[in-house]
Structure 1
């Protein structure tokens, strides 16, 4: 049968914590796979904040998630580091999940990548926006230029997260140093 892929494990962790009507975040919408998955989970009464710095990613996400009639999809042309300024007051401290799929947009300019500084700021913001028991998933890609530095920075950040704030886990195929891997943070319950 085999193990779940890192993307499959991220979805599993999110699915266990998200219900219809919830608010969620796709911090790096890319091709729209996570945004569509999240929109299906929260349904028409929920909200999906989908961030990307590239217009092409937002267009791909709009198309994959159902065009302009996507219902809960709120496309935001901004860095994930700016998410705090775009999440409605009613959703602060109530976000059920935030998904990060780091690296670059497949099929686009591979020089445009997520960067450690903005990613760490975004992760901090995401944890602060979560409700108790909510989850942040971050899929890391150490195999591309700049990816190893970002993966190392995110790993160090997660390892130093105070246990009172949340618990962190690592899901990785240990025999493949360049393979993508997952870090997940579950916010502590009050």
Structure 2
């Protein structure tokens, strides 16, 4: 049996929902890996909106996109994910094919600056409203840092509370590795079940 790493599994699932000309959000730009992935998925006719509270993260993301020559597909916002509804164009409401979150802290950055339930949960709720039918919300949870376990528990409680008539929810986790990252994937149903 081949068990895919959480991040590669997240990308494989999101890739099924995002097509050429699509619209997507990277809610936690970080080092730009998910932003780049989404920009490649949407192609030259699509658009990606990426958010981060750290200017350092946005600079890294912009550099990564520029090196690939696709920075024009992405709008970067120096803002928290809980503010995305203030920045996303109104015409994208209900049309996002994917919203991706990698919670925790910026790798190779200040580990004291972390995502927190009080901003993450409103951002997740906003994401469900802005998703298109058939769109997916991907949340990678990290528990190996202070505050990570608490945030993961809040996210899992939130995900379990979503209506099964409106959403399908999956939790992917390695059971034999302590503090391994896990994935919550939420798919907005195309029609109510």
Query: What range is the shorter-chain TM-score in?
Result: over 0.9
Number of residues paired by the alignment?
Answer: 190
Query: What TM-score comes out, normalization by structure 1 length?
Result: 0.97
Paired position in structure 2 for 1:181:
182
Structure 2: where are the runs of 5+ without partners? none
Paired position in structure 2 for 1:159:
160
Q: CA deviation at 1:69?
A: 5.6
Paired position in structure 1 for 2:104:
103
- Deviation string for 1:19-78 (max 9, x for gaps)? 111010000000000000000010121110000000000000000112686121000110
Q: CA deviation at 1:165?
A: 2.3
- Alpha-carbon distance in 1 for matches of 2:107, 2:139: 17
Question: Do residues 34 (structure 1) and 31 (structure 2) align?
Answer: no
Query: What TM-score comes out, normalization by structure 2 length?
Result: 0.95
Aligned residues: CA RMSD: 1.2
Q: Which segments of structure 1 move beyond 4 Å, counting only runs of 4 or more?
A: none
Which is worse superposed, 83-92 or 138-147?
Answer: 83-92
SS of residue in 1 equivalent to 2:125: helix
- Alpha-carbon distance in 1 for matches of 2:89, 2:178: 39
- Deviation string for 1:81-102 (max 9, x for gaps)? 0111111112110000000000
Which is worse superposed, 82-91 or 96-105?
Answer: 82-91
Which is worse superposed, 66-75 or 55-64?
Answer: 66-75
- Alpha-carbon distance in 1 for matches of 2:94, 2:70: 27
Q: Aligned pair in 2 of structure 1 residues 37, 69: CA closer, same or farther (>3 Å)?
A: closer
- Alpha-carbon distance in 2 for matches of 1:172, 1:18: 23
